[in-house]
């Protein structure tokens, strides 16, 4: 059984880090324990930053030492002393130990740094052969013609094929966009059917460094803008001319290099960054050890959203040369670039086909990463239009950029188009506004129709036409009406509005599904080794037994729909028949109702939390129960208990809480917490899109 994959490149700076990140992310969607191994690393005195990136970002359960065997120099020394066998024995031993503890292992070849690259080419083949690992070959197409790329790719494949090393995929990275289709067609025609061919166009957002990377290379003093150090740098320009001429040279994400005494250039740069007429400025480097005079410093200190500014001791010429030599790396903690790397991999590599090529391991467990990976795959299956009413919130726009980049949903964002465009620029987002629909409710062509519809729906509730007009300027009402009218498939709101403000319009005219009288909510709680469903933690303060039973049934159905086998625990402060009292009796009645209405659902109650989730405690308190100790759906008796418990679990364990997802409505409308993160928005939009698909997953 194949339980590993080897990534081998033909030259340095080919984008191997991106492929490794994409692969580990893909495999974590299928298996619980992924190992990562890089037999030969570059550094002698410092850790390999890419190993650190992979281990920390994915929180892989292994140490840095487990992930590597030799430094480059150590491997060279062994080969020069005819100790190739000793080198291979150590590599195989470390690999096998990691493989034994993992469901699948990703092995990354060396980086081709420095001299003796021929040694690395042959050593990578040797290691792959001895590990008996199938290989993904990676070729860089940067600054090459189609003929040159094809020759290199086919020679690379031949070198492995002749050694009887199984090649499952060949990826050509960093090609000019206009070359991509031709190269893909040529690869498909010339490679065997068993080799998956992929072509990835060059992406300056991945390849160009951030301000932080350049500042580290320059070793200067940061004066302002530390919060914006992850700004991407696509260009740099020397500010040594008069301001009118200088402004003509500004390009998107430009780093400006100028002496510190050029207050005119500094002020003009900051003003250009705030202007909608000029491109975004990434940062400013002040050369020759000088800083602006006190009045200019005071002016800068009073500005908001200051770009990063650094003072360096070197002159302008030397500084620009050093900046030109900086190469970008995907570093630990650079979540934005890591996410972009994964998104790029998913966009241009046929993940489904690659999975079939290399993935033979199967696990019934649903880990958090598997769950999140599956969510994105389900969302892509049938793209839906989701409306986001709160376009004035930065988190909404940041999540929108990720959603559009991954092509997961179509989006309508409510708000003023000019203000949204300015916010996108200020945040430095790679969000193509031509790919989203931006609607200002009061100026929308649909406004009058929506007003009339609302009036007809609510006139029996004492809503007159003037009230309907006023209500329809509210983004929650307008967004909900879009869903009601079928112009959006679902809505996500609540980042700046209360839960009631978000769901009230839905209760008024979207209403509940047939046979459902209780709108409730669930959270998908992504714990360390499993995903549990918590309900209801957001809507119903004190549900009756009948309402509690409805909540349990809806939660069980949604759990199953999202790939989690439902084993329902009706929580109380008592387990089984050990307790009595009104609160326990309510849960006991609710459990009986669930059993009568849905005998297909495994349900236990009343049961305490520890007995529900801890197998040892579960066996002690309720021996023979199909739920005790292994509950996947936990139903809380009231909102006070549920809301406090989910927040306590989230904060104390670091669990990701996806939701709340509302259940019971005719069409999906979901509420965000006002303290939500960008990840919360991203995940809630995805589950809303999946809800609106209306099919079994």
Q: pLDDT by residue (tens digit) across 73-91?
A: 888 888 888 888 788 888 8
| Residue among 416, 347, 429, 412 at smallest CA distance from 380 | 347
Task: Report the distance separating Cα 522 and Cα 18, nearest Å.
Answer: 35
CATH of domain 515-664: 3.40.50.10750
Q: Where are the alpha helices (DSSP H) in 243-288?
A: 243-247, 263-274
**What pLDDT score was predicted for residue 195?**
93
Task: Report the distance separating Cα 202 and Cα 193, nearest Å.
Answer: 26
Token pair recorded at residue 391:
């376009």
Which residues, 6+ apart, have CB-to-CB distance to 681 below 8 Å? 395, 396, 398, 399, 492, 495, 672
Task: Report the distance separating Cα 214 and Cα 350, nearest Å.
Answer: 34
DSSP 209: P
Task: Report the distance separating Cα 313 and Cα 415, nearest Å.
Answer: 46
Contact 205, 230 (CB under 8 A): no
Residues facing 286 on adjacent strands? 258, 311
> Is the Cα dihedral 49, 50, 55, 57 positive or negative?
positive
**What pLDDT score was predicted for residue 697?**
46
Detail the DSSP E strand segments found in 14-98: 34-41, 68-71
Helix (H) or strand (E) segment spanning residue 567: strand 567-571
| Residue among 198, 225, 201 at smallest CA distance from 280 | 225
Task: Report the distance separating Cα 532 and Cα 539, nearest Å.
Answer: 19
**What pLDDT score was predicted for residue 1?**
56
Rounded (10°) angle between helices 447-458 and 465-472:
130
**What pLDDT score was predicted for residue 352?**
86
Task: Report the distance separating Cα 402 and Cα 335, nearest Å.
Answer: 12
Question: What strand order describes the sheet that includes 309-311?
Answer: 221-224, 309-311, 281-287, 254-259, 235-238
Return phi, psi of residue 616, to 5°: -65, -50
Give residue 82's Cα distance to chain centre.
46
CATH of domain 211-324: 3.40.1390.20
Which residues, 6+ apart, have CB-to-CB distance to 580 below 8 Å? 574
Q: Where are the domains of the chain?
A: 4-200+333-358, 211-324, 368-499, 515-664
Task: Report the distance separating Cα 637 and Cα 640, nearest Å.
Answer: 9
Task: Report the distance separating Cα 114 and Cα 111, nearest Å.
Answer: 9
- CATH 3.40.50.300 is the classification of domain 4-200+333-358: yes
Task: Report the distance separating Cα 416 and Cα 442, nearest Å.
Answer: 10
Token pair recorded at residue 221:
């003093």
**What pLDDT score was predicted for residue 262?**
92
Helix (H) or strand (E) segment spanning residue 524: strand 520-526
Token pair recorded at residue 166:
């199984």
| Three-point CA angle 29, 661, 647, nearest 5° | 85
> Is the Cα dihedral 548, 549, 555, 556 positive or negative?
positive
Instruction: Encode pLDDT of 119-176 as tens digits.
Output: 678 888 888 888 888 899 999 998 899 999 999 999 999 999 988 888 999 999 999 9
Contact 660, 523 (CB under 8 A): yes
> Is the Cα dihedral 315, 320, 323, 324 positive or negative?
negative
| Residue among 430, 428, 13 at smallest CA distance from 229 | 428
User: Right CATH number for 368-499 from 3.20.20.100, 3.40.30.110, 3.40.50.920, 3.40.50.10950?
Assistant: 3.40.50.10950
Task: Report the distance separating Cα 47 and Cα 461, nearest Å.
Answer: 68
Task: Report the distance separating Cα 196 and Cα 184, nearest Å.
Answer: 10
- Full-prediction pTM beyond 0.95? no
Residues with pLDDT less than 50, the chain: 697
The 3-state DSSP class for residue 493 equals strand
Domain 4-200+333-358 identical in fold to domain 515-664: yes
Contact 674, 495 (CB under 8 A): yes
């Amino acid at each position: 059984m194949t339980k590993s994959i080897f990534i081998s490149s033909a030259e340095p700076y080919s984008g191997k880090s991106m492929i490794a990140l994409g692969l580990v992310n893909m495999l974590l969607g299928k298996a619980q324990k992924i190992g990562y191994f890089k037999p030969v690393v570059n550094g002698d005195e410092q850790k390999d930053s890419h190993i650190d990136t992979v281990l920390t970002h994915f929180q892989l359960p292994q140490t840095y030492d487990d992930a590597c065997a030799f430094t480059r120099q150590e491997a060279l020394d062994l080969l020069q002393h005819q100790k190739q066998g000793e080198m291979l024995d150590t590599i195989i031993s470390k690999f096998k130990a990691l493989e034994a503890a993992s469901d699948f292992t990703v092995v990354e070849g060396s980086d081709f740094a420095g001299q003796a690259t021929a040694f690395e080419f042959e050593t990578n083949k040797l290691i792959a052969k001895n590990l008996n690992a199938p290989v993904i070959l990676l070729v860089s197409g940067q600054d090459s013609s189609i003929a040159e790329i094809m020759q290199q790719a086919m020679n690379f494949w031949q070198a492995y094929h002749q050694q009887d090393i199984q090649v499952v995929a060949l990826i050509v990275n960093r090609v000019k966009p206009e070359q991509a289709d031709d190269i893909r067609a040529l690869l498909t025609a010339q490679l065997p059917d068993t080799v998956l061919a992929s072509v990835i166009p060059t992406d300056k957002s991945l390849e160009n460094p951030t301000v932080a990377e350049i500042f580290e290379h320059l070793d200067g003093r940061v004066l302002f803008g530390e919060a914006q150090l992850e700004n991407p740098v696509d260009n740099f320009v020397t500010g040594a001319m008069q301001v009118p001429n200088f402004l003509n040279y500004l390009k998107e994400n430009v780093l400006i290099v100028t002496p510190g005494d050029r207050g005119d250039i500094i002020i003009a740069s900051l003003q250009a960054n705030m202007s909608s007429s000029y491109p975004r400025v990434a940062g400013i480097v002040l050369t020759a050890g000088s800083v602006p005079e006190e009045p200019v410093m005071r002016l800068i200190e009073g500005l908001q959203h200051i770009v990063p500014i650094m003072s360096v001791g070197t002159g302008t010429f030397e500084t620009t040369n050093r900046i030109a030599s900086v190469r970008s790396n995907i570093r630990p903690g650079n979540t934005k670039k890591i996410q972009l790397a994964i998104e790029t991999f998913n966009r241009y590599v046929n993940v489904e086909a690659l999975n079939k090529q290399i993935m033979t391991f199967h696990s019934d467990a649903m880990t958090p990463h598997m769950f999140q990976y599956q969510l994105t795959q389900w969302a892509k299956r049938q793209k839906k239009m989701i409306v986001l009413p709160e376009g004035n919130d930065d988190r909404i726009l940041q999540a929108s950029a990720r959603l559009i980049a991954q092509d997961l949903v179509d989006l309508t964002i409510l708000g003023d188009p000019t203000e949204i465009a300015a916010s996108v620029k200020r945040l430095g987002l790679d969000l193509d506004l031509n790919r989203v629909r931006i609607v200002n409710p009061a100026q929308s062509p649909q406004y009058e129709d929506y007003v009339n519809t609302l009036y007809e729906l609510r006139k029996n509730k004492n809503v007159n036409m003037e009230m309907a007009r006023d209500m329809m300027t509210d983004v929650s009402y307008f967004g909900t009406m879009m869903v009601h009218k079928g112009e959006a498939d679902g809505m996500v709101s609540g980042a700046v509005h209360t839960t009631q403000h978000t769901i009230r319009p839905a209760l008024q005219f979207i209403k509940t599904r047939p046979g459902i009288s209780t709108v409730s909510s669930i959270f998908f709680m992504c714990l360390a080794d499993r995903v549990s469903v918590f309900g209801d933690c957001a809507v119903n303060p004190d549900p009756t037994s009948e309402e509690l039973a409805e909540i349990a049934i809806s939660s069980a159905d949604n759990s199953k729909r999202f790939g989690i086998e439902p084993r329902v625990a009706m929580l109380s402060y008592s387990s089984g028949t050990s307790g009595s009292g009104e609160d326990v009796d309510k849960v006991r009645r609710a459990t009986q109702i669930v059993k009568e209405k849905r005998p297909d659902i495994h349900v236990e109650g009343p049961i305490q939390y520890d007995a529900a989730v801890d197998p040892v405690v579960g066996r002690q308190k309720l021996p023979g129960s199909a739920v005790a100790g292994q509950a996947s759906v936990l139903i809380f008796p009231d909102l006070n208990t549920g809301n406090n418990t989910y927040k306590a679990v989230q904060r104390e364990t670091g669990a990701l809480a996806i939701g709340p997802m509302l259940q019971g409505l005719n069409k999906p409308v979901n509420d965000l917490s006002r303290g939500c993160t960008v990840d919360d928005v991203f995940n809630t939009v995805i589950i809303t899109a999946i809800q609106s698909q209306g099919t079994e997953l």
